Structure 1
Amino acid sequence: MQLVETHAHIYLDQFKEDIDEVIESARAKGVEKIYLPNIDSRSIDAMLELEYRYPGYCIPMMGLHPCSVNKDFEKELYVVEEWINRRDFVAIGEMGTDLFWDKSFYEEQKEAFRIQSRWAIEKNIPIVIHCRESIDETIDLVSQLNSDKFRGIFHCFTGTSDQAKQIIDMGFLLGIGGVATFKNGGMEPVLEAIPLDHLVLETDSPYLTPAPHRGKRNQPAYLELVAQKIATVKNMTINEVAEATSANAYRIFN
């Protein structure tokens, strides 16, 4: 079984003491690649250090997380722009909108979204979208930026089947993570309705740990629990889920 982890923040301090063991555990569970979304200027060095230590295995993105957008967001975007013009990245991310933690900079979040989306279109690379409590608003933002080069992943998708269909119709994939395993996560109807060729797997480590490990630090080795949940819901083998979602991940990240 070969799994692709499309979203993990394993460069954060939560992994500082045992990152080698975390990587070893992931490999042992069949995780053959880990994609690293950036947060802001403070996370870049640690993320790129992990790329250096595990070349070809830990793959970085570059972007500005919406929770790091404030009145000085242009300065942060300048750092992102400087990096994407300096070297290649597989995606612009993690970017998007967030109306859960703080609504006071929502207009700035939308502007940062548009700017980073235009960069992705210019570079012909995907975007990786965070949209907590803001799926409909983010679907609207994406729909305004129509381009045959515009593509990406709605990370940590927890929406409805109708929202999933809108996202798929725009050419985007759905990132499915630990919430799918939660007893009251509500994801089973969506997983039943959406074909595998529109899904990719993620953990969002160290967050959103899948059952039965809820309450503990998440890690890429737990990706198989997400794959197994999808396999159970769709009455497939875990190998079928792994093969399809990994192919989707490699296709979106080129």
Structure 2
Amino acid sequence: MTVSTAPSPAVVAEPAFGLLLDVDGPIASPVSRTVAITSIGRDLAAMANRGIPVIFNTGRSDDFIARQVVPPLREAGLHAGAPVFTISEKGAVWAEVTPEGLGEIHLDEELRLPAALADDVRALVAERFSGHMFFDETKRAMISLEQRTDVANEDYLAVQPEFDAAAPALLEKHQVRDVRIDPTIISTDIEHDRLGKDLGAARALELLQARGISPQAWYTMGDSRTDYAMASWLHERGHQVSHVDVRPADGIPETAHPVLTSDTGAIHDDAGAEFLSRWARSLC
């Protein structure tokens, strides 16, 4: 499809709200690992084109964003200059999102894990776990193992604890400190302990401040308890924020800010699509 040649949107210094969005779950299907619902790309592009900041705050790599998230935005007519960014690998990597793809990739080298450790984890997966998971070669700072798409989630989850139990020996071998092992429903991340959705929120504000953008309020969205950290970080710094939980079955923690869930009982990207459409309509 031809890249949109529409004029750049005017910068809105104080947009009505900003969006800080986890990707797996709310935006990309945890089953297909794609943006499977057409309205998601349409509504995100429509809001961004009207000056609403759209920031993906994700553990995914910049490569995943470029391959899976940018094309639906391009197809929906995202304008050049719209305030869209990705903060990938839980704050270690960031870039502007444009109709052509990603802009310059920035990496915090202090948060990158040693290549030798990654090599040993890759070898461990190949030797013992390749029937259920794969080594994510696109990560720049983290080390991630992900469920194969041809494996049932319950089968993957049955094996995941065995990998998680084997990983600490490799951290000890390489004398790596200040690192945590973070399992999710479809992956395990080995990451510097400074990484997290709160670091992503801090990067988001820095990116917007550089453009002179200060949203009047925020909506954050995620599918796990760790995603609450971005809303908590914003609230603690005086921002008005509501968090959308698209997988509330894990239990909604007590928070000092509002927590929203689907009125229809939808979860994952179905719930994400509901909220995005609602927010896009509010601008009309």
Q: TM-score, normalised by structure 1?
A: 0.35
State the structure with more CA Rg. Answer: 2
More strand by percentage: 2
TM-score, normalised to structure 2, is 0.32
